[in-house]
Every structure is written in structure tokens, then in C-alpha cells.
Amino acid sequence: MALTLYIHPLASFCHKVLIAFYENEVPFTAETVDLMDPGEAADHLARWPVGKIPVLYDSDRDRIVAETTVIIEYVGERYPGPVPLLPDDPEARLEARLWDRFFDLYVSQPVQKIVTDRIRPEGRNDPHGVADARRTLDTAYAMIEARMAERTWACGEAFTLADCAALPGLFFAGIVQPFPADAANLSAYFERLLARPSVRRTLTEARPFFSMFPYRDAMPERFLRD
């Protein structure tokens, strides 16, 4: 097996795939893509014209695989490891996929809106869009708080694909819009995620790049040291 994962170490969607790979000790090579470099950007667009990361290349099958959930499922089915990230039971499998999409669409994407607005040129900001994103995060926080009242992980007692999606979104969301003070279940879930070895490894590798994060000034000190 020869897997190459094209990433940027600061990108939350790349973190999602890295967590899944580290959970299952997937052998792969990580290649950082600098989309600001014209040559690297052109090479990446040749791989995946949408231009997003991460993207996986499986040289054994000469196949490009894009989109985080598809990458994780692709590797899980063809190169399974010790941690099945999708349950065998069809109903539980649907639940894991639902909450995977939930964390991507209603946590990670609103965070991206808020973060990218901070680095827009003066006069090009979108305050209405940012306000909508913050309201989406408030709704997501309330839903997670209620859901995690009687669960260890997003879909029960087993760590799944949904938890791989949860950590990156919540990590950056908690910086741009801190969790409510009374969201004890959400906060406890986040701490359990942070204690996971795959998560610690992913964040340790990302730490040298945290200075590039537009909300670096709001990042808690504990994330900036070992």
C-alpha cells in the first residue's frame, strides 16, 4: 500500500482525516500543499480541479480520492485497522454519518466563514454572513450539549467517524466563539477528544503553524505548548 495524503497542517478538514488515520495506524505519506505557491497550486488542481484539501492518492490503485468522509471510508474499507470508524449495524452507521455531516456543516463550515472574514481586504467584509455563522454555532453548541448528556462519544460508547469530524471543528470553534459557560456536557466531550492519542498527535503536528491562524490572539495558551 502506498498512500499519499495532500494536506495543509493547519486545515481543520485535514485534521479530521489525520485523526482517522492515526486511530488506525494507517501507513501514509503526508505532503503539504502551499496553495499560495503557483506551481504547487497548479499541481494540486491537476489532481483535483476543485482545489480543496485534503486529497488522497492511492498509488496501488492509481486512484485519487477527495472529500474527508469519502477518504476515511475508502481507507477503512480497503485498508482496515483496529478501530472501525463506522459501525456494522445499519442504523448506527447512519447515525455516525449524520453526525459526521453535522460537525462538518454546522461547526467547521461556520468557523471557516468567521475566520476567512477576518482576513478579507478592508471594505470586503461580510458582517451579515458572520452573524449567521455565529448563530449556527450557537445552535450547534446547544444540540451537542443536549446530545452529550448521556454519551461518551458522539454516537455512543464507541469512537467513530463523527468524533473525527467533531474535534477539528470544536477546536477552532471554541477559539472564535467560546463555548457557553453552562455547556458542561459539550466542554467535557471536548476534553475527552483532546485526551485521545490520535488527537494529541494531530494537534502537536499542527502547533508550529498556529501562528498563521487569523485568531491566534484568542488561542488558549495551553494549545501553544506541549
pLDDT in tens, 48-68: 999 999 999 999 999 999 999
Per-residue pLDDT tens over the stretch 140-196:
999 999 999 999 999 999 999 999 999 999 999 999 999 999 999 999 999 999 999
Do 148 and 204 lie in one domain? The reply is: yes
95 and 190 in a single domain? The answer is yes
Q: What is the CATH number of the domain that holds 44?
A: 3.40.30.10
pLDDT at 123: 83
- Assess whether 95 and 198 both reside in one domain: yes
Beta strands across the sheet bearing 63-66? 29-32, 3-7, 55-58, 63-66
User: Based on the domain organization, do 68 and 94 belong to the same domain?
Assistant: no
Q: Record the cell numbers describing residue 94, joined without a space.
A: 447512519
Q: What percent of the chain has pLDDT over 70?
A: 100
Last residue of one domain, picked from the residues 43, 78, 113: 78
Instruction: Tell me if 137 is assigned to some domain.
Output: yes
* Full residue range of the structural domain in which residue 14 is found: 3-78
Same domain (yes/no): 105, 170: yes
In 3D space, the residue among 50, 54, 65, 66 whose CA is nearest the CA of residue 16 turns out to be 54
| 72 and 110 share one domain | no
Encode pLDDT of 117-138 as tens digits.
Answer: 999 888 888 999 999 999 999 9
For the domain that residue 158 is a member of, what is the CATH number?
1.20.1050.10
pLDDT at 1: 65
Residue 83 covered by a domain: no
Task: Write the burial class of residue 93 (CB in 10 Å: 0-12 exposed, 13-18 middle, 19+ buried).
Answer: middle
- The model's pLDDT over 79-98, given as tens digits with 9 standing for 90+, comes to 999 999 999 999 999 999 99
Q: 74 and 9 in one domain? A: yes
Say which residues have a Cβ less than 8 Å from residue 195's Cβ, sequence separation at least 6: none
Query: Does residue 112 sit in the same domain as residue 145?
Result: yes
Per the CB < 8 A criterion, the answer to whether 225 and 193 are in contact is: no
Residue 200 has pLDDT above 90, yes or no: yes
Does 226 have pLDDT greater than 80? Answer: no
Residues 96 and 53 in one domain: no
Per-residue model confidence (pLDDT) at position 223: 94
Does 104 lie in the same domain as 50? Answer: no
In this structure, of 16-20, 96-100, 174-178, 208-212, the range with the lowest mean pLDDT score is 208-212
